[in-house]
Amino acid sequence: MEFLESIRDFTETGGNVLVWIAGLIFVMWLLILERIFYINTTHKSFKKELIQNWNDRHERKSWNAEQIRSAYISRVSLQLNSSIPMIQALVALCPLLGLMGTVTGMIEVFDVMAMTGSGDARSMASGVSKATIPTMAGMVGALSGVFASTWLNKTSKNERLHLEDELRLDREVV
């Protein structure tokens, strides 16, 4: 219960934009975890099936065989990269929402200054926190997403290259 109250207090300190940033980060990490789950489970069986289909072919040197090989590699590549552009878009949105939080917090600071007619630090403190906390949250979300999307891109590329090696054109069945 105390944990939920501290989260509520943090959200109130950061303003409404912080809720949007949290939702964005949550969706981004759901997509990242889905990709990790896919790579570690479904992709392995899919790749194994394609390699088995390729190895069952008697002829692997013709133009038709090359087209089938290209289709297999394309299917795997499409499956591996299916959510990565969306993840990258969400990563790019994180700092933008943080910037929006900065602007809304600074507007609150200027409103307080206009109402009081002075630059009293105590009266401006809540607006300054509403300006800095969303910025920090947006940057943390973006950094974590950049690391994860980089890892996913690298893993996807390595898996595609591994499949290309497995599906060699020059092997003939003996």
Q: Which two tokens stand for residue 124?
A: 């401006």
- Please give the DSSP secondary-structure letter assigned to residue 81: T
Question: From the centroid of its chain, how far is CA 91?
Answer: 6
Residues 143, 87: Cα–Cα separation, whole Å: 12
Q: In terms of pLDDT, which residue wins out, 42 or 121?
A: 42
Answering whether pTM is above 0.85, one says: no
* 46: nearest Cα among 10, 82, 22: 82
Classify 119 as helix, strand or coil: coil
CA–CA distances in Å: residue 44 to residues 79, 147, 148, 158: 12, 23, 20, 13
> What is the per-residue pLDDT across 50-107, written as a single tens digit (0 to 9) for each?
999 988 888 888 889 899 999 999 999 999 999 999 999 999 999 999 999 888 888 8
Lowest mean per-residue pLDDT among 3-17, 32-46, 155-169 = 3-17
Mean pLDDT, residues 13-40 taken together: 93
The residue extents of the domains of the chain are: 2-166
pLDDT for 152 beyond 60: yes
Predicted confidence band of residue 110 (pLDDT cuts 50, 70, 90): confident
Give the torsion through C-alpha atoms of 114, 120, 124, 129, to 10 deg: 160
Please tell me which residue, 78 or 113, carries the higher pLDDT value.
78
Residue 11: pLDDT over 90: no
The confidence band for 170, taking pLDDT boundaries of 50, 70 and 90, is low
